[in-house]
Amino acid sequence: MSLNINDLFSVKGKIAIVTGGSRGIGEMIASGYLSNGAKVYVTARKEEALINKAKELSEKFNTDCIPFCVDLSDIVGIKTFLDFVTKAEPNGIDFLINNAGAAWGADLDSYPEDGWDKVVDLNLKSPFFITQQMSPLLEMKATSDNPSRVINIASIDGIRVSNMAETYAYSASKSGIIHLTKHLAKTLVDRNIIVNAIAPGPFDSHMLGKAVNFDYSFISKMNPRKRIGSPEDIAGLCLYLSSRAGAYTVGETITCDGGMVATT
């Protein structure tokens, strides 16, 4: 047993996958792992931006951030990514962060089927099938004392109804990922793979930024902490869930929102 903080929260030498890791919350999470000595694979659909971001992060943290451009909204893309990771890491991986996501806002009477399908496929279907396909790689590294981890990025909009926009598919998919986390946790804990979720509130991201013209001032005023989330907030929580410190936390969804759900 060691209660030294360097042992308790260490992810040094671990191998992580962060989907949607080229910007926003995904970039923050990837940076948290990289800055603490983990190797990180990041995915996104925009190749040039992804490659540039991976190069930037590799140089910044002096460790390997490896890009792979892929559309993970269907099983073809997921298996293409699986093949790449299997060849690159034949001995397995330690962490899978299902972060890639999309949103679509429209009023009830005009909400389109293609918008619904795009959001639900990426936000809910993909995390299930990525976890399914990556489980053998996670199991290779997993032991009872040192389990592998899956962290699903949900949203507080999967817990409460947002008053900012009519994002029916987004809220439904994020609510679904919260329950899916519990179901996967029940199954995979016997394989020494721990599954949890994080439900972020407002963070500086392309998705939220576009909705508010990247002016977060009024959102900050509404937040009990009087600010939006920072990289330290979301990366710190991921590091806890990925480390020895979080090895007894199973099937939970932890809000990271400045108190918006609990106190408002």
Would you tell me how many other CB atoms lie within 10 Å of the CB of residue 34? 25
Q: Which of 54, 55, 48 is nearest to 18 (CA)?
A: 54
Pair of tokens at residue 83: 């093949």
Q: Which residues are catalytic?
A: 170
Would you tell me how many other CB atoms lie within 10 Å of the CB of residue 73? 21
Q: Which of 78, 88, 86, 172 is nearest to 128 (CA)?
A: 78
Handedness of CA 37, 148, 135, 174 (dihedral sign): negative
Strands (E), the chain: 15-18, 39-44, 65-69, 95-98, 148-153, 193-200, 253-256
Angle at 236 between CA 205 and CA 191, to 5 degrees: 105
- Continuous H helices in 192-242: 206-211, 217-222, 231-242
Angle at 172 between CA 167 and CA 174, to 5 degrees: 95
- Helix (H) / strand (E) element for 127: namely helix 126-141
